[in-house]
């Protein structure tokens, strides 16, 4: 922020400054709100709205203060005069603001004009009086001194200094209800000076060295290849992204119409075309969609290789399941899939089988990883492409309809009452497949 | 009388070898001990060796890092925005707030979507009775939608099963799962309700078994507080990325606990990391007012999203479903929407009256929700048409 403010005050390139006439006194080096906004908009090539926002933030932090109405730190994009806060008062130089200084400031205001203190200021004043009553004489003395010194200055300077101080204290002691811009959130270790176990010990460096050695050995892919991959990914998924391409029949958040969610529920009788298309993008997409997975399972059943998918699912359960269940799960998997003569024996190469069986003696979450990867790759390279070429899949794709664009409706929507959806925590069983609204020609609800 | 000066020798048993010798005072870690001259000499040379080793380790690490950077640079043949030149520009975006959720009495710090795409859980700096500490900085929804996890300054991550029975006291069923030695900054369930991954201000991440509270794996390597993490959407589902106050983003293998890749190009704390939907890259938002995209296969930073007019840190980032848009919430109360491929800003959104602390796109990508220190959450969406 300070960088911006400094560049704003540059005599050649900064905001146009002029002497402002404020009631009777003339204040030099003042700027208008409008000029500030325009300068920001031009310098950063942004819209006026954004420039106004940025300027407002600068004012909120006390870097620019208003001359006419110093009670509120707001940026008005008109002729309202403003000035740049002196660096002495920048929050970065003088934070945290001292209690004593605040007491002196409030005392000054009180002495200068009885009743000048606003409610919350009066409260603070009383509180401080109680807190530092032992030094109260010093406070009053300082206050009187400063007031006397101020009287010696020109009226213009006095006004400016008063505004500067006022702004500084508005930032550091905001009135109740106003957000404090100085709040930082919970303290982070990097900011505190000493954090014992973070110092760079020999262990830390040894780990870094080890990591670097490993990293030097890894294979990297050319940037052009990786970046092209993004292009094709975004291009492929663009039409499926509601925020980029919208969604049919309508975005539920906008139209208050649940239809989109109903049609795309985890299990439906008729999946949408976009959804079925997505199953063809990657094997992972197919498996992640419960409907897709079910269809694939059916397909595998026809090819008598359903046990592969079941085995993969069992491995996933082991990997992410509860620690306590690991032995039972491992045993169940062994009995069902790996034991010689098992009911659903999976076909993996002998080396992997040997390694897996060996590892089963000490069961843990990842003991089946090798076998799982083998089966996954098998399905991905073999069964999945065949699935995509199968009549079953093509049939689904053809059946899935594309809905009419209901956005084109001209008459206004009637507001549907918003009902809260049933929480998953309440459902004892998975949702029943619901009949989705029909394909083309569907009665889109208004 | 002799003219020589002499040392006053204390005789006694040496604190190290316990032999009866003339002793000298020795300072070890600001504690005063008495060593005999032999032990004192040994200690002096040991200290030297220790220092030497530390310095030489440091220089070795530096030189290896330099070599690593060289290797990475060798395969960098083109920039993202160059490749993206032939992509159609996105045009004007209009985003509108569809729902404003006002229920928190204080700053909203974190939020997460439920898989049913409609519910969210959010946490804040509350004075409520249910949480023992005020700053609840992390919260997550379980994949089944039946539980939530949250934690913060209490150094713990607790799992609450969701119940809608009015007679049940949710706090009573709470289960303390994770224990760190400093605040909890982020938490996330893995693919099931039974495992939780946490990141903490103590510089570590950890994987826990929910039912038993057992620590399954811990991840050491960050040199300062870890502020965020995200699980990879990969086929084998074994990695996650974390970002911290040491300006590093590190990718970890959940099985072995080792750091697989590390990236250190940010200039300040990394507040948020999120994977690109394909799992081949991730974005990070930092206090240095930039968001960056790191590619995992190329092993380098491939894009920076920044603008001169953005001078406040980014607190939270997320991708849209296709990965074309990157939403980032900033500490200057705004949300900037970036075109990931072209590197340009698509839109700036106002509306919040204080810092945007958290931002997530809904699971089906129909909207995104932002939470702020102004006590509200806003659900927004829009597109290339004005509604």
- In-domain check, residue A238: no
Which residues of A are less than 8 Å from B361 in CB distance?
A: 243
- In-domain check, residue A256: no
Domain residue extents for chain B: 10-46, 90-381
Q: Do B61 and A425 lie within an 8 Å CB cutoff?
A: no
User: What's the mean pLDDT in A31-58?
Assistant: 84
Pair A81, A147 in one domain: no
Which residues of B are less than 8 Å from A423 in CB distance?
A: 119, 145, 162, 164
- Strands ordered across the beta sheet of B147-151: B138-141, B147-151, B156-161, B175-179
The more confident residue out of A421 and B132 is A421
Question: For the segment B59-72, what is each residue's pLDDT rounded down to a tens digit?
Answer: 888 898 888 888 88
Which of A172, A188, A209 is the last residue in one of the domains?
Answer: A172
Res B270: pLDDT:
95
Report the C-alpha gap between B63 and B60 in whole angstroms. Answer: 5
Give me Rg for the CA atoms of chain A. 35
Q: Is the pLDDT score of A402 beyond 60? A: no
- Strands ordered across the beta sheet of A81-84: A18-22, A25-32, A81-84, A64-66
Distances (CA, A) of A338 to A308, A345, A368, A379: 11, 6, 11, 18
Place of tokens 């060295």: A209
Determine the straight-line distance between the first and last CA of chain B, rounded to whole angstroms.
107
Pair A42, A148 in one domain: no
Q: Is the pLDDT score of B273 beyond 50? A: yes
Q: Give the range with max mean pLDDT: A349-353, B196-200, B372-376.
A: B196-200
Distances (CA, A) of B364 to A63, A265, A389, B322: 43, 11, 27, 11
Pair A85, A119 in one domain: no
User: What's the mean pLDDT in A277-296?
Assistant: 91
Pair A122, A23 in one domain: no
How many domains is chain A partitioned into structurally? 3
Residues of chain B with pLDDT > 70, as a percent, come to 88
Determine the straight-line distance between the first and last CA of chain A, rounded to whole angstroms.
49
**pLDDT-derived band of residue B169, with 50, 70 and 90 as boundaries?**
low
Q: Is the pLDDT score of A395 beyond 90? A: no
What DSSP letter does each residue of B322-334 carry, written as one string? TSSEEEEEETTS-
**pLDDT-derived band of residue B241, with 50, 70 and 90 as boundaries?**
very high
- In-domain check, residue A180: no
Question: For the segment A218-250, what is each residue's pLDDT rounded down to a tens digit?
Answer: 888 888 888 999 999 999 998 888 888 888 778
| pLDDT averaged over every residue in chain A | 78
Q: Give the range with max mean pLDDT: A7-16, B70-79, B118-127.
A: B70-79
Least Cα separation, residue A153 to chain B (angstroms): 37
Pair A270, A404 in one domain: yes
Res B126: pLDDT:
60
Report the C-alpha gap between A58 and A5 in whole angstroms. Answer: 8
Question: For the segment B69-86, what is each residue's pLDDT rounded down to a tens digit?
Answer: 888 888 888 888 888 888
Q: Give the range with max mean pLDDT: A69-78, A80-89, A182-191, A303-312.
A: A303-312
Res A89: pLDDT:
77
Q: Do A244 and B269 lie within an 8 Å CB cutoff?
A: no
Q: Is the pLDDT score of B127 beyond 50? A: no
Q: Do A226 and B295 lie within an 8 Å CB cutoff?
A: yes
User: What's the mean pLDDT in A141-151?
Assistant: 84
- In-domain check, residue A55: yes
Please name every residue paired with B292 in a beta bridge, in sequence order, or none if there are none: B284, B304
Pair A161, A296 in one domain: no
Neighbours of B58 (CB within 10 A): 16
Q: Is the pLDDT score of B379 beyond 70? A: yes
Least Cα separation, residue B40 to chain A (angstroms): 23
Among B99, B192, B325, the residue with its CB nearest the CB of A244 is B325
Res A233: pLDDT:
92
Structure tokens of A4? 């911006």
Question: For the segment B275-287, what is each residue's pLDDT rounded down to a tens digit?
Answer: 999 999 999 999 9
The more confident residue out of A367 and A109 is A367
Nearest in space to B323 (alpha carbons), one of B372, B373, B264, B283? B283
CATH code for the domain in which residue A51 is found: 1.10.10.10
User: What's the mean pLDDT in B357-367?
Assistant: 90
Q: Indicate the burial class of A207 (C-beta count within 10 angstroms; 0-12, 13-18, 19 or more).
A: middle
Report the C-alpha gap between B164 and A2 in whole angstroms. Answer: 51
User: What's the mean pLDDT in B330-358?
Assistant: 91
Exposed e or buried b per residue across B327-358, where buried means at least 16 C-beta atoms within 10 angstroms of its C-beta: bbbbbbbbbbbbbbbbbebbbbbebbebbbbb
Tell how far CA A431 is from the center of its chain.
Answer: 31
Res A399: pLDDT:
81
- In-domain check, residue A215: no
Report the C-alpha gap between B138 and B124 in whole angstroms. Answer: 9
Exposed e or buried b per residue across B210-231, where buried means at least 16 C-beta atoms within 10 angstroms of its C-beta: bbebeebbebbbbbbbbbbbbb
Interface with A, mutate which of B221, B235, B334 (most A CBs under 10 A): B235
CATH code for the domain in which residue A368 is found: 1.10.167.10
Which residues of B are less than 8 Å from A57 in CB distance?
A: 312, 332-333
CATH code for the domain in which residue A110 is found: 1.10.1240.60
Interface of A with B in 191-250 (CB under 8 A): 195, 197-198, 200-202, 204-209, 211-213, 215-216, 218, 220-231, 233-238, 240-247
| pLDDT averaged over every residue in chain B | 84
Residues of chain A with pLDDT > 70, as a percent, come to 78
Least Cα separation, residue A349 to chain B (angstroms): 20
Res A401: pLDDT:
60
- In-domain check, residue A163: yes
The more confident residue out of A13 and B202 is B202
What's the pTM? 0.82
User: What's the mean pLDDT in A212-217?
Assistant: 86
**pLDDT-derived band of residue B51, with 50, 70 and 90 as boundaries?**
low
Angle between helices B37-74 and A202-217 (to 10 degrees): 30
Least confident of A103-112, A149-158, A178-187, A229-238: A178-187
Q: Do A242 and B209 lie within an 8 Å CB cutoff?
A: no
Which residues of A are less than 8 Å from B98 in CB distance?
A: 253-254
Pair A38, A110 in one domain: no
CATH of domain B90-381: 2.130.10.10
- In-domain check, residue A260: no
**pLDDT-derived band of residue A443, with 50, 70 and 90 as boundaries?**
very low
Interface with B, mutate which of A227, A287, A419 (most B CBs under 10 A): A227
Place of tokens 């709100």: A33
Report the C-alpha gap between B36 and B19 in whole angstroms. Answer: 8
Q: Which ipTM did the prediction report?
A: 0.81
Structure tokens of B161? 């099963």
Q: What angle do CA A271, B379, B184 make, to 5 degrees?
A: 100
Which of A89, A116, A139 is the last residue in one of the domains?
Answer: A89
**pLDDT-derived band of residue A286, with 50, 70 and 90 as boundaries?**
very high
Chain B's closest residue to A424, CA to CA, is B145
**pLDDT-derived band of residue B356, with 50, 70 and 90 as boundaries?**
very high
The domain in which residue A376 lies consists of 265-409
Question: For the segment B173-215, what is each residue's pLDDT rounded down to a tens digit?
Answer: 788 888 999 999 999 999 888 999 999 999 999 999 999 999 9
Pair A84, A118 in one domain: no
Among B60, B281, B324, the residue with its CB nearest the CB of A238 is B324
Pair A275, A346 in one domain: yes
Pair A63, A160 in one domain: no
Chain B's closest residue to A179, CA to CA, is B354
Which of A63, A89, A115 is the last residue in one of the domains?
Answer: A89
- In-domain check, residue A214: no
Tell how far CA B275 is from the center of its chain.
Answer: 13
Res A258: pLDDT:
82
Q: Is the pLDDT score of B160 beyond 80? A: yes
């Amino acid at each position: 922020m300070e960088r911006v403010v400094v560049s704003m005050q540059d005599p050649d390139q900064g905001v146009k400054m002029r002497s402002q006439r404020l009631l009777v006194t003339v204040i030099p080096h003042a700027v208008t709100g409008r000029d500030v906004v325009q300068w920001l908009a031009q310098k950063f090539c942004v819209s006026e709205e954004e420039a106004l926002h940025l300027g407002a933030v600068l004012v909120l932090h006390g870097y620019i203060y208003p001359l006419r109405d110093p009670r509120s730190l707001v940026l008005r994009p008109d002729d309202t005069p403003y000035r740049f806060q002196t660096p002495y008062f920048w929050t970065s130089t003088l934070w945290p603001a001292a209690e004593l200084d605040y007491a002196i400031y409030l005392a000054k205001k009180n002495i200068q004009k009885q009743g000048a203190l606003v409610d919350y200021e009066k409260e603070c004043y009383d509180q401080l009086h109680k807190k530092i009553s032992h030094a109260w004489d010093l406070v009053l003395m300082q206050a009187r001194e400063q007031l006397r010194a101020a009287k010696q200055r020109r009226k213009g300077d006095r006004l400016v200094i008063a505004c500067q101080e006022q702004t500084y204290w508005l930032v550091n002691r905001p009135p109740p209800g106003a957000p404090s811009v100085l709040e930082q959130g919970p303290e982070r270790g990097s900011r505190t000076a000493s954090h014992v176990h973070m110092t760079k010990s020999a262990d830390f460096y040894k780990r870094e060295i080890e990591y670097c050695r490993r990293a030097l050995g890894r294979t990297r892919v050319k940037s052009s290849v990786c970046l092209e991959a993004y292009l094709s990914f975004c291009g492929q998924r663009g039409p499926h992204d509601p925020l980029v391409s919208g969604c049919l029949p309508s975005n539920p958040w906008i139209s208050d119409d649940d239809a989109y969610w109903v049609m795309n529920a985890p299990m439906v009788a008729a999946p949408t075309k976009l959804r079925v298309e997505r199953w063809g993008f990657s094997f992972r997409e197919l498996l992640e969609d419960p409907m897709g997975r079910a269809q694939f399972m059916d397909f595998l059943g026809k090819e008598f290789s359903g046990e592969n998918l079941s085995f993969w699912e069992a491995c996933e359960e082991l990997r992410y399941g509860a620690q306590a269940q690991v032995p039972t799960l491992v045993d169940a998997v062994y009995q069902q899939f790996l034991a010689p003569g098992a009911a659903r024996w999976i076909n993996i190469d002998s080396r992997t089988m040997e390694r897996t069986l060996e590892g089963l003696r000490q069961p843990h979450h990842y003991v089946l990883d090798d076998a799982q990867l083998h089966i996954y790759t098998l399905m991905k390279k073999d069964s999945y492409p065949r699935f995509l070429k199968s009549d079953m899949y093509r049939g689904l794709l053809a059946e899935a309809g594309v809905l009419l664009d209901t956005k084109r409706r001209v008459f206004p929507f009637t507001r549907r009452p918003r009902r809260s959806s049933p929480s998953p925590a309440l459902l004892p069983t998975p949702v029943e497949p619901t009949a989705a609204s029909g394909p083309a020609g569907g009665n889109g609800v208004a | 009388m002799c003219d020589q000066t002499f040392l006053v020798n204390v005789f006694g048993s040496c604190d190290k070898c316990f032999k009866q010798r003339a002793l000298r005072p020795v300072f070890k870690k600001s504690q005063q001990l008495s060593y005999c001259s032999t032990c004192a000499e040994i200690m002096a040379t040991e200290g030297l060796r220790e220092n030497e080793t530390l310095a030489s380790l440091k220089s070795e690490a530096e030189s290896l890092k330099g070599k690593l950077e060289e290797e990475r640079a060798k395969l960098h043949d083109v920039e993202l925005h160059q490749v993206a030149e032939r992509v159609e520009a996105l045009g004007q975006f209009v985003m509108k707030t569809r729902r404003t959720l006002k229920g928190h009495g204080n700053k909203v710090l974190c939020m997460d979507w439920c898989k049913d795409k409609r519910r969210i859980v959010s946490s804040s700096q509350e004075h409520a009775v249910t949480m023992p500490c005020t700053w609840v900085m992390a919260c997550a929804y379980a994949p089944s939608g039946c539980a939530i996890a949250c934690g913060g300054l209490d150094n713990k991550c607790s799992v609450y099963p969701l119940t809608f029975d009015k007679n049940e006291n949710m706090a009573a069923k709470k289960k303390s799962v994770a224990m760190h030695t400093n605040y909890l900054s982020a938490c996330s369930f893995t693919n099931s309700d039974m495992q939780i991954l946490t990141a903490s201000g103590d510089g570590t991440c950890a994987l826990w078994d929910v039912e038993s509270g057992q620590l399954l794996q811990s991840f050491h390597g960050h040199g300062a507080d870890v502020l965020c993490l995200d699980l990879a959407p990969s086929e084998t589902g074994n990695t996650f990325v974390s970002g911290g106050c040491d300006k590093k983003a590190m990718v970890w293998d959940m099985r072995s606990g080792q750091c697989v890749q590390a990236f250190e190009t940010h200039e300040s704390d990394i507040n948020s990391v999120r994977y690109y939907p394909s799992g081949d890259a991730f974005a990070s938002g930092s206090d240095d007012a930039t968001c960056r995209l790191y590619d995992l296969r190329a092993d380098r930073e491939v894009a920076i999203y920044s603008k001169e007019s953005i001078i406040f840190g980014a607190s939270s980032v997320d991708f849209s479903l296709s990965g074309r848009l990157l939403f980032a919430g900033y500490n200057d109360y705004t949300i900037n929407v970036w075109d990931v491929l072209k590197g340009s800003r698509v839109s700036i959104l106002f509306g919040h009256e204080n810092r945007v602390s958290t931002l997530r796109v809904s699971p089906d990508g129909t909207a995104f929700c932002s939470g702020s220190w102004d006590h509200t959450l806003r659900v927004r969406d829009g597109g290339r048409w004005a509604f």
